[in-house]
Amino acid sequence: MAEPTTPGAQGASGFELGTDGPLVIVVGVDGSESSWRAAAYAGGLARRQRAMLAVVYVQPWMPMVTAMGADVQALTTDIADELVQEIREAVERVEDVFTIRWKFLTRRGDPYTELSKAADELGADAVVVGASQQAGHRLIGSVAVRLVRSGRWPVTVVP
C-alpha cells in the first residue's frame, strides 16, 4: 500500500503541490484609479501565490512637449517617485499581516512596448493592468487590448 503524500511532497507525476501558480506577476501602474485597483488585485494574487510582484510605471514619451520647453522628464520622474512612495506606504500598512516580495521598475516610452519588455525580461507568468478610461482607446486599442491580443502571457484587465 502506498504511503499518503503530504502537502508540498511530489506525487508520482512530479507535480509539487503549492507551486502551480505564477512566480512573477507584472502590474502596470500610472496613478489612475483603475491602475491602483489593478495593483491591489495583483498584490493580493502575488501574496496568495507567494509570487514576486513587479510594479511597472512607464513614463510617457512626449517629444513635442519637450521641444516646446516643458520639463516632462522631471514631471514624470516626480510621478514615479510619488508612486513608489504610495506603494511603500501600502506595503508598510500590511507588513504585520503578510509579506510580499516586490520591485518597482520605471521605463520611458510606449506603455505596451515597455510593459511587454519588462514582462519578457522578468519571465512574467501573468500581467495585470487597469482598464483604460480614455474614449480614444475604443478606436485605436488600449494597452490592455494590445497585451491581450499579443497572447504572450495571461492578462487580467481590472475595471
Q: Are 112 and 30 in contact (CB under 8 A)?
A: no
Cell reading at 27: 502590474
Cell reading at 153: 502571457
Please tell me the chain's helix, strand, coil percentages from 3-state DSSP, rounded to the nearest 5. 45, 20, 35
Mean pLDDT by 10 residues, the chain (159 residues): 48 57 90 89 91 89 54 68 76 69 88 96 96 60 88 93
Q: Report the C-alpha gap between 156 and 152 in whole angstroms.
A: 13
Residue 21: its pLDDT value, please? 76
Residue 120, CB-side half-sphere exposure with 13 Å CA sphere: 10
**Model confidence, pTM:** 0.73
Cell reading at 124: 512574467
Look at residues 81, 146, 153, 149 and name the one whose alpha carbon lies nearest to residue 111: 146
